[in-house]
A and B are shown apart, each in its own frame.
Chain A
Amino acid sequence: MAPKEQPIETRTIAVLVDNEPGVLARVIGLFAGRGYNIASLTVSEVDPEQGLSRITIITSGTAQIIEQIKAQLARLVPVHRVSDLSSEGPHVERELALVKVTGRGNKRVESLRIADIFRAQVVDSSHDHFVFEMTGKSEKLDVFIDLMRPLGLVDVSRTGVVAIARGPKGL
């Protein structure tokens, strides 16, 4: 079957890298240069002593492309490990959003009520605005943000997805 006819899959991939200069550029350059898709990418140092960072990437492609993406990531010199969380068993994905809503009166009350239902925290407020902090699955954040739209939504900042495998084993 030609690659085009294969179904497209979405995968969450965790990459443990040496926290050296340019490592993120290498990963992003790999995706851009080879035409792979990035739906979300997050990175942060996770072990300052060992100098390790963890990159979480959500990408999509045919099974053959996904295999290529993993092989291409693994051959980058500063990469320690590549783990395909989607295929290696159950895992947890979370994202954090900061959502700013401006308004007075009914809309303001309504936004607070919805935030309460979604268990969002108020992290900043004045008489005419709230900043909500919300953590959860990306889809849940999407719904929350959509609901805020008619209520005076002015600004959204999202972290992108972080993910970890369920169970006692580490990466």
Chain B
Amino acid sequence: MAPAQMTGSQMLLKALVDQGVDTIFGYPGGAVLPIYDALHQQNALRHILVRHEQAAVHAAEGYARSTGKVGVVLVTSGPGATNAVTGLTDALMDSIPVVCLTGQVPTHLIGNDAFQEADTTGITRPCTKHNYLVKAVEDLPRIVHEAFYVARSGRPGPVVVDLPKDVLQAKGACYLAPGEVKHRTYRPQVKADRTTIEAAVEMIAKAERPLIYFGGGVINSGDKASRLLTRFARDLGIPCTSTLMGLGAFPASDPLFLGMLGMHGTYEANLAMYHCDVMIAVGARFDDRVTGRLDEFAPHSRKIHIDIDPSSINKNVVVDLPIVADVGRALDALLKVWKARGHKLAPKALKAWWKQIEEWRARDCLKYTQSDGPIKPQYAIQRLYELTKDRNAYITTEVGQHQMWAAQFYKFEKPRHWMTSGGLGTMGYGFPSAVGVQIAHPDALVIDIAGEASFLMNIQELSTVAQYGLPVKVFIINNQWMGMVRQWQELLHGKRYSQTYMASLPDFVRLAEAFGAVGLKATRPDEVDDKIMEMIETPKAVIFDCQVEPEENCFPMIPSGAAHYDMLLGPEDKAVKPVSEEGMVLV
């Protein structure tokens, strides 16, 4: 039987279904009307109408990160596409698989400054892993399948498919199934080279002060990679530290876990990093937030680096043994060779190393004192953790101090339960991301740990939440400041608080009510628990205005450009450790 005649829009939707897509986050407009028309006539795909295209991409990111699937976005040409750019850049920086379908003016008008025309492929070239302009309906099925393949393979990332309106309306009998499409060039290396694995095993076997430094790549690799990482660390008894993006890939309750490292990492994690003699970097990219001053970064260590992207290797830090492979595959091979060779780490050295680490840990660098006075932000998040930890909660965050406190105080046992904007640091990420997570897990407890300033950046999504009856919780750590920026101004710019006070904040309780959600407010520590329980037990969306100590700072802190041993541990610390001029240039 000859393939049926279909329009471009119908082929597009069929391709999505064949790719296993069930949900699209989008916003309509003239150029994508044919797609919306086709969507209206089918039931296989659910369309979630967001209130801003940036939010569509963040929702797709939340959906993707919490499920392991590709997130799908549909926006119109021109402003629809440009509004999506922040989300695309966010997904690129954090390696999140997203396919973004953008409408485009008809092919014969491209280049004429037509109504709502933007050079979408030009604009998105640097903020996508790859992008396509579909010029003929015959190319459409292949390109859509390729887009999914590229988005999810190797190091995942966002892919844009720009769809001129006439291509969407053209008819053809040219549909191809996913199996009929093979990419011409793109074949990321996933299997680890045997001899490098053996070399790594030998290097680890000689370690006296080993450390595993893992990141988002473990989560990208899949749940099996997390299990293998956990096995590997436990079998060998090696301490582990995570980047912001890796949290949950290794159970935080395990004593082997030292917490997050880096700028706001723990004392024990950063000092272990400084003093280790063999570093095993697993799916982490040596970001400047992690390394601090490069020439003082783990200076006594030999470094093994497992990463699927060769460009992550030797980019910021030169390593001794690169392993280009998928994390899961590499760890599997490492474990097998380790077992086969019957290696064991030298017990005496390992014991001494642990003794040292426990001394650092005893410093209890995250401690704070909750008085009867205002709520400490740390306390609020710690209570939130204690009261939700047995409920399989999914946590998203905005960007700022609350994000760092969440990373420090919320302990993740499993991957895919922590969604945050790490690389781009996009305020406004958390709320729409929570929408995406809730859509993917309708019955789960989904909480956006927010700052009041960040929440205001995508607050229009309250309307989306209302439309779909999503029970998303927004837990606002309300300090009335752009806290993270205020902290830098306090420590680095002589307390000149230029433009960081959030004047004219809304009454969040009444705002919630205006959107049919429930508003809660806490101002005293003794009401935090009850209010959190009320939030959890409310079957609807909740905005929780947790009014906290306005000028609390987030510690530990390694000022930009400082070394791991130069941590500020608390307010008393800053006088003795002035921040260098050189460091002030850095962000």
Contact = CB atoms under 8 A, between A and B. Distances in A.
Interface of A: 2, 18, 21-22, 25-26, 29, 33, 64, 67-68, 71-72, 74-75, 77-80
B268 to A, nearest CB: 28
6 contacts: A21-B133, A25-B122, A29-B126, A75-B154, A78-B185, A79-B185
Given A2-B295, A21-B133, A75 B311 contact: yes
Contacts of A25: 122, 125
Given A64-B314, A75-B309, 19 more contacts: A22-B121, A22-B131, A22-B133, A25-B122, A25-B125, A29-B125, A29-B126, A68-B314, A68-B315, A71-B309, A71-B311, A71-B313, A74-B311, A75-B155, A75-B311, A77-B130, A78-B130, A79-B185, A80-B185
B112 to A, nearest CB: 18
A64 B318 contact: yes
Interface of B: 121-122, 125-126, 129-131, 133, 135, 150, 154-155, 184-186, 294-295, 309-311, 313-315, 318
Given A71-B310, A71-B311, A77 B186 contact: yes
B400 to A, nearest CB: 27
A68 B317 CA distance: 12
A25 B122 CA distance: 8
Contacts of B154: 75
Top 3 nearest A-B pairs (CB, nearest first) are A71-B311, A77-B130, A71-B310
B287 to A, nearest CB: 15
Contact of A26 (B125, B155, B295): B125
A168 to B, nearest CB: 25
Contacts of B294: 2
A77 B314 contact: no
Contact of A75 (B131, B310, B314): B310
Nearest to B121: A22
Contacts of B311: 68, 71-72, 74-75
A55 B234 CA distance: 49
Nearest to A50: B184
A130 B118 CA distance: 46
A153 B489 CA distance: 59
Which of B121, B186, B295: most chain A Cβ within 10 A?
B186
Contacts of A26: 125
Contacts of B314: 64, 67-68
Which of B150, B185, B314: most chain A Cβ within 10 A?
B185
Nearest to A26: B125
B159 to A, nearest CB: 9
A77 B150 contact: yes
Nearest to B294: A2
A87 to B, nearest CB: 15
A142 B373 CA distance: 77
B355 to A, nearest CB: 34
A61 to B, nearest CB: 13
B126 A33 contact: yes
A34 to B, nearest CB: 10
A126 to B, nearest CB: 39
Given A2-B294, A25-B122, A29-B125, A74 B185 contact: no
Contacts of A22: 121, 125, 131, 133
Which of B121, B125, B131: most chain A Cβ within 10 A?
B125
Contacts of B125: 22, 25-26, 29
Nearest to A81: B185
B148 to A, nearest CB: 13
A72 B126 CA distance: 12
A77 B169 CA distance: 28
A77 B126 contact: no
A77 B129 contact: yes
B101 to A, nearest CB: 18
A148 to B, nearest CB: 39
Nearest to B318: A64
B426 to A, nearest CB: 19
B547 to A, nearest CB: 43
Contact of B184 (A18, A29, A71): A18
Nearest to A78: B185
B290 to A, nearest CB: 18
A167 B275 CA distance: 49
Contacts of A74: 310-311
Nearest to B188: A75
A78 B310 CA distance: 16
A21 B125 CA distance: 12
B185 A77 contact: yes
A67 B316 CA distance: 12
Contacts of B295: 2
A78 B187 CA distance: 11
A99 B21 CA distance: 59
A28 to B, nearest CB: 10
A36 B120 CA distance: 25
A79 B154 CA distance: 15
Contacts of A18: 184-185
Contacts of B121: 22
Nearest to A72: B311
B423 to A, nearest CB: 15
A170 B154 CA distance: 27
Contacts of A67: 314
B424 to A, nearest CB: 15
Nearest to B184: A18
Nearest to A30: B126
A26 B131 CA distance: 10
Nearest to B133: A21
Contacts of A29: 125-126
A67 to B, nearest CB: 6
